[in-house]
């Protein structure tokens, strides 16, 4: 693991600001790992905030909901931050924010205290909650692991530079996150619960330390990629997730803080996942912010809201600088897994020329999964997929550290990602 320049100061003290609702939203039918949803509305239909507008019969999926009230104007292919393009439902807002959900009496604490795990899981599924740290795995499935688990880790590490949305949530919504943790723990039947926070977030550590007696706050060194599931498990419990296995195989489940907050909102407020906190920052942005944004808002609206631009961005990234995805259009919408929008200038965005490998071993030394990135990358370039598999391509967590340390500027992660796709296929 390495210590990266954090660039958190730009936005970390900016309280979460509710962004005005957009005039139009583009809600992709795929915002999760699993089967793409089918539209449940057609052009001309009126919708209200929180209405389910897409779903599918499948095991691994998460339904999608309208984030504004108004009229469905199109169902069409649209730029997508992770998939390139994807079918999206376009809703023209009527500005009324009509919301037909009832908030009572389900938000009575005593009643919620009696909810069974089955009932909570059903609410989480119906709310369309997915892993909001970037993974997008449907949360209701993670609440129902195929093997018994005894430990829950809440991931508040937020180890990617620039991103501060989870930090703001932890500081501003501590009580709600703790209520969400209790719901998740009830579903999993776990007794041992850790909240993992990096030491560069003293205010969040203080808040959780003071307010949570049942859970253990684990303060971790600020280093990258501290927030990876496997790294958290190793650093907190000293356990390793074997190659090809998942945390539940060793009795552990990890959930991100924003996901747990969404669980709280779904159960206590009867609110589906139709908005989230997004950090908008980077050298080209004059007013970095942490925004509460409706899902489906084009990132151009976020950029304009944080403007004016200091200079024209040469690169727009959705997510963090290490694991995020460079975008080809500012029309892409915010989706459930959008943690940040970063705008970088020409100098920061420039690519250095790729040189031959000098066999320095830096990528091997730094890989947190103990892979040999250079060998997997070579196998990928030569399309030797069985070789890439033997080298453990599918265990790569795509943290980007090998790229970061390579003095020859070899695009190792890009090659490894390709091999991963071929190996898993
Ligand atoms: S091989 Fe994968 S896990 Fe290892 S450093 Fe590179 S991106 Fe990270
Ligand atoms: S860090 Fe780059 S130059 Fe060094 S061994 Fe790995 S691929 Fe080769």
Q: Which of 1, 234, 373, 374 to mutate to test the pocket of ligand 1 (most atoms within 8 A of CB)?
A: 373
| CB of residue 376 inside a 6 A radius of ligand 2 | no
Residues 141 and 237 in one domain: yes
Instruction: Say how many Å lie between the CA of residue 354 and the centre of ligand 2.
Output: 11
Q: How confident is the model at residue 103 (pLDDT cuts 50, 70, 90)?
A: low
**Is 286 a domain residue?**
yes
**Is 357 a domain residue?**
no
> How many separate domains does the chain show?
3
| CB of residue 407 inside a 6 A radius of ligand 2 | yes
**Is 334 a domain residue?**
yes
DSSP β-ladder status, 84-93 and 64-65: unpaired
| CB of residue 362 inside a 6 A radius of ligand 2 | yes
Residues 93 and 119 in one domain: no
Of the candidates 269, 297, 321, which is a domain's last residue?
A: 269
Residues 253 and 214 in one domain: yes
pLDDT of residue 105: 47
Structure tokens at 384: 């030797």
Structure tokens at 147: 């093997």
Provide the 10 A C-beta neighbour count for residue 248. 18
> Which residue's alpha carbon is nearest to atom 1 within ligand 1?
373
Most confident of 33-37, 163-167, 238-242: 163-167
Of the candidates 215, 242, 269, which is a domain's last residue?
A: 269
Asked if pLDDT for residue 215 goes beyond 90, the answer is no
Residues 133 and 254 in one domain: yes
Task: Tell me the three-class secondary structure of the chain, residue by residue.
Answer: CECCCCCCCCCCCCCCEECCCCCEEEEECCCCCCCCCEECCCCCCEECCCCEEEECCCCCCCCEECCCCEEEEEEEEEEECCCEEEEEEEEEECCCCCCCCCCCCCCCHHHHHCCCHHHHHHHHHHCCCECCCCCCCEHHHHCCCCCCCCEEEEEECCCCCCCCHHHHHHHHCHHHHHHHHHHHHHHHCCCEEEEEEECCCHHHHHHHHHHCCCCEEEEECCCECCCCHHHHHHHHHCCCCCCCCCHHHHCEEEEEHHHHHHHHHHHHHCCCCCEEEEEEECCCECCCEEEEEECCCEHHHHHHHCCCECCCCCEEEECCCCCCEECCCCCCECCCCCCEEEEECHHHHCCCCCCCCCCCCHHHHHCCCCCCHHHHHHHHHCCCHHHHHHCCHHHCCCCCHHHHHCCCCCCHHHHHHHHHHHHHC
Residues 309 and 390 in one domain: no
Instruction: Say how many Å lie between the CA of residue 341 and the centre of ligand 1.
Output: 23
**Is 128 a domain residue?**
yes
- Structural domain range at position 68: 21-100+272-346
pLDDT of residue 210: 72
Residues 265 and 278 in one domain: no
**Is 285 a domain residue?**
yes
DSSP β-ladder status, 340-344 and 275-281: parallel
pLDDT of residue 345: 95
Asked if pLDDT for residue 399 goes beyond 50, the answer is yes
Domain CATH for 326 = 3.10.20.600
Please compute the mean of the pLDDT values over residues 291-303 and round it to a whole number.
Answer: 98
**Is 236 a domain residue?**
yes
Q: Which atom of ligand 1 is nearest to the CA of 225?
A: 8
Residues 78 and 43 in one domain: yes
Of the candidates 245, 269, 293, which is a domain's last residue?
A: 269
> Which residue's alpha carbon is nearest to atom 3 within ligand 1?
396
The whole-chain average pLDDT of the chain stands at: 93
Q: Which of 324, 411, 413, 418 to mutate to test the pocket of ligand 1 (most atoms within 8 A of CB)?
A: 413
Instruction: Say how many Å lie between the CA of residue 141 and the centre of ligand 1.
Output: 26
Please compute the mean of the pLDDT values over residues 89-115 and round it to a whole number.
Answer: 79
Residues 191 and 122 in one domain: yes
Please compute the mean of the pLDDT values over residues 253-272 and round it to a whole number.
Answer: 96
Residues 218 and 124 in one domain: yes
Domain CATH for 193 = 3.40.50.11540
Residues 419 and 297 in one domain: no
Please compute the mean of the pLDDT values over residues 330-336 and round it to a whole number.
Answer: 97
**Is 15 a domain residue?**
no
Asked if pLDDT for residue 272 goes beyond 90, the answer is yes
Residues 251 and 293 in one domain: no
Please compute the mean of the pLDDT values over residues 291-313 and round it to a whole number.
Answer: 96
Residues 153 and 263 in one domain: yes
pLDDT of residue 349: 86
């Amino acid at each position: 693991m390495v210590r990266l320049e954090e660039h958190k100061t730009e936005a970390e003290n900016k309280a979460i600001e509710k962004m005005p609702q957009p005039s139009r939203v583009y809600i992709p039918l795929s915002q999760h790992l699993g089967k793409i949803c089918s539209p449940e509305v057609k052009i001309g239909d009126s919708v209200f905030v929180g209405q389910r507008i897409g779903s599918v019969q499948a095991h691994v999926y998460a339904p999608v909901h309208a984030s504004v009230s108004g009229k469905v104007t199109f169902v069409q292919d649209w730029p997508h931050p992770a998939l390139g393009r994807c079918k999206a439902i376009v809703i023209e807002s009527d500005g009324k924010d009509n919301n037909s959900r009832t908030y009572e009496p389900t938000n009575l604490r005593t009643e919620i205290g009696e909810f069974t795990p089955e009932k909570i899981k059903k609410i989480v599924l119906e709310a369309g909650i997915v892993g909001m740290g970037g993974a997008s795995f449907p949360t209701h499935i993670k609440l129902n692991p195929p093997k018994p688990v005894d430990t829950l880790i809440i991931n508040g590490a937020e180890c990617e530079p620039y991103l501060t949305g989870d930090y703001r949530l932890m500081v501003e919504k501590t009580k709600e996150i703790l209520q969400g943790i209790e719901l998740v723990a009830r579903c999993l039947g776990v007794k041992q619960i850790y909240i993992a926070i990096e030491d560069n977030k003293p205010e969040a550590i203080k808040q959780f330390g003071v307010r949570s007696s049942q859970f253990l706050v684990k303060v971790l060194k600020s280093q990258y990629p501290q927030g990876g599931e496997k790294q958290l498990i190793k650093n907190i419990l000293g356990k390793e997730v074997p190659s090809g296995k998942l945390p539940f195989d060793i009795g552990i489940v990890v959930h991100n803080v924003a996901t747990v907050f969404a669980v709280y909102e779904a159960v206590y407020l009867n609110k589906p996942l139709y908005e989230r906190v997004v950090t908008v920052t980077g050298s080209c942005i004059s007013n970095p912010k942490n925004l509460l944004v409706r899902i489906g808002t084009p990132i151009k609206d976020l950029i304009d809201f944080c403007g004016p631009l200091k200079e024209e961005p040469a690169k727009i990234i959705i997510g963090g600088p290490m694991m995020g995805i460079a975008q080809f259009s500012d029309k892409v919408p915010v989706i459930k897994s959008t943690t940040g929008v970063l705008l970088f200038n020409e100098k920061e965005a420039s690519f250095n020329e790729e040189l031959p490998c000098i066999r320095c071993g830096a990528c091997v030394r730094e890989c947190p999964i103990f892979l040999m990135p250079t060998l997997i990358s070579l196998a990928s370039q030569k399309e030797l997929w069985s070789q890439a598999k033997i080298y453990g391509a599918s265990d790569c967590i795509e943290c980007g550290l090998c790229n970061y340390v390579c003095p020859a500027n070899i695009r190792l992660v890009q090659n490894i990602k390709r091999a991963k796709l071929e190996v898993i296929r």
